[in-house]
Chains A and B, each alone.
Chain A
Amino acid sequence: MEMMIEVQDLTKYYGANLAVSRLNFQVAPGEIVGFLGPNGAGKTTTLKILAGFLAPSSGVARINGYDCVSQSLKARESLGYLPESVSLYPDLTVTQFLQFAARAKGVAAREEKAEIERVISACGLEEVRQTLIAAISKGFRQRLGLAQALLKWPPLLILDEPTLGLDPSQIVEIRTLIKELAGTHTVILSTHILPEVSQVCQRVIIINRGQIVASDTVENLSREMGHGSRSVLTVRGPEPQVAAALEKVPGVTRVVSQGAGAYLVEAGNGLDLRPELARVVVEKGWELLELKAQEFTLEEVFLNLVTEEES
């Protein structure tokens, strides 16, 4: 299968500063991939190279089979790009800007009107269509940025922090919109809002200091990168004794009392100690009120990976 994005040994220096170092990844058509990393990790640089705005210092980036440098025009025809903190011409109205973007992207004259209407309604811009961009709110600007990216149905959407500056209800709308694009569009979106990734993306690429530190589905990442398994149980019984008894269970590495009879039990990788824990509690004659396995959140995986790198 032809990949929508192919990145091989991509490296970018800004002067003497290494921004992206020998990056390798692929994105299949129809995938929604989250690009995750702390500020300054190289996310935006990578996306700018993919969008054809910057040239890499070395390595290859291909979009839809076209090289981003030598076949830049073809590659750019295949993508819609929403830059980080998007800047739009303040002296144009929303409709004037979309007209310009549609023509620049080569939308045929007879389809122009319908195409602009489509993105206006998809992004909820109806009420500001005749307003100057200088006068619309940040949320509307972000949506207009997304609207221009959607013009002409590009097979690939590159979204750099698409929900930046939006209020909570707009964030939900934009996320829904992005999810609806799955299948028909390939989407690569960068963010440092972690819940966004678990809600929207099928796959996550975590990048730190210009290098990929993990690339997998959210579930696999939290299973594999979580450093062990965790259970939470609530027990009615004397706290010190309960904690001591739980610690004696083979495989348990740590017990944290969380108050009100709740305990967090951590164990080695791949171990499910729930049956053992239940038995111990019942044997001691205490009452077991709740017992469940707890997955590692993406935040924890992310922090683990990033801090590991740094140490």
Chain B
Amino acid sequence: MRNISGCLALLRKELTVYFATPIFYITGFFFLLLAGYFFYTNVLYYNLISFQAAQQAAQNPQLAGQLNAQMMVFRPLFGVLAIVLLFLVPLLTMRLLAEEKRSGTGELLFTYPLTDWGVILGKFLAALLIYLILLAFTVSYALVFAFVTRLDWGSVGSGYLGLVLLGGAGLALGLFASSLTENQIVAGVVGFGLLLFFWVLGWLQELGAGLGGVFQALSLMEHYDSFGRGVIDTRDLVYYLSFIYFFLFLTKRQLESRRWRA
């Protein structure tokens, strides 16, 4: 019980700080600017192809049948949003623990009767909630689309689930990076570097490196693809949830060791 109330106390405090500082608004502005741009270009392209398909309906009757909004607009959109988020997620987490250390506020925080898990989950969930708020704005694209055409909500939902899990993994990794240092910039760079590394790990498979399959199984991107196609695979769910737990656990270890090293 104490764990939960302490965690909620911290969650509320972190949200207040997010909304009181520019990082949320600036990150949100650029995320939505880019997301809106990609959505718009995808729709334009879909439009163009659809016209061509209509003109060539006589010669190539199958083409029109293969065109649908999910494949032409949303699947590429989820792909590109994942890349935008790769850049933005470390910005959301870099402050979380590094700033407590740098400014000395951690001295109070860690002498309050809060468990380490309470602190970590409070901060992680706050960042996740902020991330979900940013993501929620993009649901409006699907809503607009649903007005003019029939949309397969199932596969759109699956794509969003993929984005949430991918974001959660990035946030857990970013929180860990933030626990390593008292410098926000360092925390941001380490978070971004690690995230990028886990992203491109799957490439080794394509290059035929030894143990390529293992690296592929560890890659963040590898497990993300199927969500965009509308497929929810238990292996991918387990992968992302374990990834999140693993980095939160490392963060806990890092916090525990602080008391002894000092």
Contacts and interface: CB of A to CB of B under 8 A. Distances in A.
Contacts of B21: 91
Contacts of B253: none
A87 B260 contact: no
Contact of B10 (A48, A91, A96, A104): A104
B107 A83 contact: yes
Interface in B77-108: 103-105, 107-108
A100 to B, nearest CB: 4
Interface in B4-44: 5-6, 8-10, 12-13, 16-17, 20-21
Contact of A81 (B2, B10, B108, B259): B108
Nearest to B18: A91
Contacts of A104: 6, 9-10, 109, 112-114
Nearest to B102: A87
Given A54-B262, A76-B113, A88-B105, A103 B20 contact: no
B108 A86 contact: yes
Contacts of B138: none
Interface string A90-102: 1110001000110
Contacts, number: 78
B14 to A, nearest CB: 10
B90 to A, nearest CB: 20
Given A89-B17, A92-B20, A106 B104 contact: no
B50 interface: no
A105 B108 contact: no
B226 interface: no
Interface of B: 2, 5-6, 8-10, 12-13, 16-17, 20-21, 103-105, 107-115, 259-260, 262
Interface of A: 14, 48, 51-55, 73, 76-77, 79, 81, 83, 85-92, 96, 100-101, 103-106, 148
In order of increasing CB-CB distance, the 8 nearest A-B pairs are A103-B9, A87-B104, A100-B13, A91-B20, A104-B112, A76-B113, A77-B113, A55-B259
